[in-house]
């Protein structure tokens, strides 16, 4: 019995030593010149408000000397303390405000959730977070700590996809020549009871009114075709 205890203690020491060695061997640092921050619009109780957005560049060097850089995008609401973040691996030297300019999502704040609605070419992508931090700096510190572990996936971006275009009218997404590959934009977002109500509008003026339940399942879609959009997909804007 005593031998088993000694063996168990020895294995536990090895495990702790391995964890410490891994933490010490992976070096994580911030490129301060690549930090960017700004206020962005959001919706709270169906009213416009503003919250904070920040992007940073994290440099990771593992025990083999391999260098990787990641660009987290973080959103924080000082009122509710809610925090959301995602990242991708940076394969080139983007400008500090690159991710902020690419962020075209609509953010909705409930009392316990931060929900991000993104309109892609053929669907809605919805992410939510209930993560809480007392300050944006503490939230950022938790993100930096995340990169101390191995292995690191190249991206962190989880969302629910909603295919609302199954019964869309023909030519609903016809676009101006200058708007090729531009997705419909979210024009309005409201919370009504336990439902989400959205209006998305394509570049040619066509619109879709979308109803979702509390779990973001599709209830209904109503399409409105813009009669001013000609056969070539022209836009009157």
10 occurs within a structural domain? no
11 occurs within a structural domain? no
Full residue range of the structural domain in which residue 181 is found = 164-237
What per-residue confidence (pLDDT) applies to 230?
A: 54
Residues 133, 224: one domain?
no
Residues 132, 146: one domain?
yes
CATH number assigned to the domain comprising residue 173? 3.10.450
**Tens-digit pLDDT string for the chain (237 aa):** 555 444 344 444 344 444 444 445 678 988 888 899 999 999 999 999 999 999 999 999 988 888 999 999 999 999 999 999 999 998 777 787 888 888 889 999 999 999 999 999 889 999 999 999 999 999 999 999 999 887 788 888 899 999 999 888 877 777 666 556 678 999 999 999 999 999 999 888 889 999 999 999 999 999 998 777 654 445 554
Domain boundary among 98, 127, 162: 162
d(CA 34, CA 56) in angstroms, rounded, equals 6
Contact 187, 209 (CB under 8 A): no
Residues 134, 149: one domain?
yes
What per-residue confidence (pLDDT) applies to 167?
A: 83
Residues 76, 149: one domain?
yes
Nearest to 81 by CA among 141, 140, 130: 130
Residues 186, 203: one domain?
yes
d(CA 73, CA 177) in angstroms, rounded, equals 31
Residues 213, 192: one domain?
yes
What per-residue confidence (pLDDT) applies to 14?
A: 43
What per-residue confidence (pLDDT) applies to 6?
A: 45
d(CA 3, CA 66) in angstroms, rounded, equals 41
């Amino acid at each position: 019995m005593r031998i088993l205890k000694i063996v168990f203690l020895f294995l536990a020491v090895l495990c702790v030593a391995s964890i410490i060695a891994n933490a010490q061997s992976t070096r994580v640092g911030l490129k301060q010149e690549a930090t960017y921050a700004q206020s962005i619009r959001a919706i709270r109780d169906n009213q416009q408000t503003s919250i904070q957005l920040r992007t940073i560049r994290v440099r990771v060097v593992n025990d083999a000397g391999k260098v990787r850089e990641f660009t987290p995008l973080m959103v924080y609401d000082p009122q509710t303390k809610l925090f959301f973040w995602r990242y991708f691996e940076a394969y080139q030297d983007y400008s500090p405000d690159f991710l902020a300019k690419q962020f075209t999502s609509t953010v909705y704040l409930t009392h316990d959730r931060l929900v991000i609605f993104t309109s892609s070419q053929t669907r809605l992508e919805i992410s939510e977070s209930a993560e809480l931090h007392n300050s944006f700096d503490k939230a950022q510190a938790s993100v930096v700590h995340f990169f101390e572990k191995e292995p690191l996936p190249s991206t962190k971006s989880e969302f629910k996809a909603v295919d609302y275009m199954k019964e869309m009218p023909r030519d609903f997404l016809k676009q101006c020549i200058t708007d090729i590959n531009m997705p419909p934009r979210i024009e309005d977002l409201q919370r009504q009871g336990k439902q989400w109500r959205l209006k998305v509008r394509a570049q040619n003026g066509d619109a879709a009114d979308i109803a979702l339940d509390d779990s973001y399942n599709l209830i209904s879609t109503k399409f409105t075709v813009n009669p001013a959009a000609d056969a070539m997909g022209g836009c009157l804007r």
